[in-house]
Structure formats: C-alpha cells, structure tokens
Amino acid sequence: MELITYADSELMMIEVASRLAGELRQALQSSETASLAVPGGTTPGPIFDSLCGADLDWDRVAVLLTDERWVPEDSPRSNTRLLRQRLLTGKAAVARYLPLYAPADTPEEGIPQLAEAISGVLPLTACLLGMGADMHTASIFPGADRLSEALAGDAILVPMRAPGAPEPRVTLSAPVLAGAISRHIVITGPEKREALERARTLPPEEAPVAAVLKGATIHWAES
Ligand SMILES: O=C1O[C@H](COP(=O)(O)O)[C@@H](O)[C@H](O)[C@H]1O
C-alpha cells in the first residue's frame, strides 16, 4: 500500500476526486464502459462535490455504493440519499446508478437480483473506500454475523448484521473490493490513522480493512 498524507482535508478531497476522474477517463479510452464504487458515511461528501463536476463521459460510467444500509432511499440513514444529493448530480447526473437496496423486508430477499446487475460491471474500474475507527470498511465489520463470507468466497454482495450497526446492511465482499483495478482509501484524523497502523498488524477477521490494503492508496489528512 501507498500512504499519502495531506496538509488539510480540503486539499485531499480535491486530489482524490481528481485521481478518480483521471482513472475513469483513462479507462473509457480503451473500454466502452467503466465502473466506480464509493462509500457512504460522513467522510466522502466533499469528494463527491468535486467529482460530480468532472469532465468525462459519465453516461458510460456505472456508479454503485460499496455498502448500503437496508433502509429506503428517503431514510436519513440511506447512503443512496447522500449519493443522489452530492455525486449523481451536475455532470455525473447521467451516470448509471446500480442500487444496493431493493424494497424487500430483508437483504437476503433482495440480494440475488441486485448482485446480478453488479456482476456485469466487474471488475470495478475504481473503488473509493472509507474506514471506521473500529477498522471496518464498507460494511465489513469486526464481529459481524457473516464476516467470513464477506472476507473470502465467491459472493458479490453479502448481507451483514453487526453489533455497532442499527439496521441490516449489504456490502460488496472483500474479494470484489480488492479486485478493483484501482483502490483508494480516504481517512481523516489521528484516531483513524492509529487504527490504520493497527490494522496493518492484524488479520482481516479482527481488522476487516486489512483485506483491502494490499495495492491500495491511502489518503490521510490530520483534520
Ligand atoms: O458505515 C459506514 O462507515 C464507513 C466509514 O464511515 P465514516 O462516517 O467514518 O466516514 C463507510 O466507509 C461506509 O461506507 C459506511 O456505510
């Protein structure tokens, strides 16, 4: 992995957006389509604000989340809601969005159909990930009920229930995330930096982010 540190997070968000746009643009020179997976949570909003204005053929780009909470789109907990407000707007409004939620009672009911659509855009051209201070990435949490299934195997999407997560989730599996042609992890603050250093010494069962570190570029700003 490569670690890039930035003087401030505003600069970091602009640089990460510019790298993602460059990678998509380059992929579209040799392929008809490209795919981009992005996280939810509190960190990536400013990246989306910049990326949605990037000059590229967004109508040839499939956009999906790395993970979603099993809630309808109008819930304040929905990662899709964040995406619609801050990424799938401006020039990026014409991108093809592949949801990770369907109106079914449980993720188990919805996943087969959702995973089928995603299988058509793999491997991911570019994948942006966040990380929690507990070393989870996407919705692959330490202590989650289906952690081993999410860390290894053939599944594209895995339903996930975890002690720290109030509702069921669905997550791209670690092999799908690790299979992305380019992978960026964006983190801020000393607590997450310490967590990252710890994760480098731990197995993925204890620190799920460790499953996607190899070959990734980590972007970190202190504040
Ligand atoms: O729950 C989630 O958490 C992680 C980290 O989020 P952050 O708020 O600490 O940035 C995020 O990457 C993931 O997509 C999200 O669903």
Contact residues of ligand 1, CB 6 A cut-off: 39-43, 66-67, 79, 130-132, 138-139
The range of the structural domain enclosing residue 145 comes to 2-213
Give the pLDDT of residue 76: 93
* Residue 78 covered by a domain: yes
Burial letters 164-200, b for 16+ CB under 10 A, else e: ebeebbbbbbbbbbbebebbbbbbbeeebbebbeebe
| Tally of domains in the chain | 1
Q: Taking a C-beta distance cutoff of 8 angstroms, is the pair 68, 129 a contact?
A: no
* Residue 105 covered by a domain: yes
| CA-69 nearest atom, ligand 1 | 16
Q: How do the pLDDT tens digits run along the chain, 223 residues long?
A: 999 999 999 999 999 999 999 999 999 999 999 999 999 999 999 999 999 999 999 999 999 999 999 999 999 999 999 999 999 999 999 999 999 999 999 999 999 999 999 999 999 999 999 999 999 999 999 999 999 999 999 999 999 999 988 999 999 999 999 999 999 999 999 999 999 999 999 999 999 999 999 999 999 999 8
* Residue 31 covered by a domain: yes
Best of 63, 70, 79, 127 to mutate for ligand 1, by most ligand atoms within 8 A of CB?
Answer: 79
Model-level ipTM above the cut of 0.95: yes
* Residue 168 covered by a domain: yes
* Residue 223 covered by a domain: no
Give pLDDT tens digits for 106-156.
999 999 999 999 999 999 999 999 999 999 999 999 999 999 999 999 999
Give the pLDDT of residue 26: 98
Best of 42, 169, 183 to mutate for ligand 1, by most ligand atoms within 8 A of CB?
Answer: 42
* Residue 205 covered by a domain: yes
Question: Residue 17 belongs to a domain with what CATH number?
Answer: 3.40.50.1360
| CA-137 nearest atom, ligand 1 | 12
* Residue 199 covered by a domain: yes
Q: Taking a C-beta distance cutoff of 8 angstroms, is the pair 183, 216 a contact?
A: yes
* Residue 156 covered by a domain: yes
CA of residue 7 to ligand 1 center, whole Å: 22
Residues 6 or more apart in contact with residue 29 via CB below 8 angstroms = none
User: 140: which DSSP letter?
Assistant: B
Tokens 């000393």 sit at which residue?
190
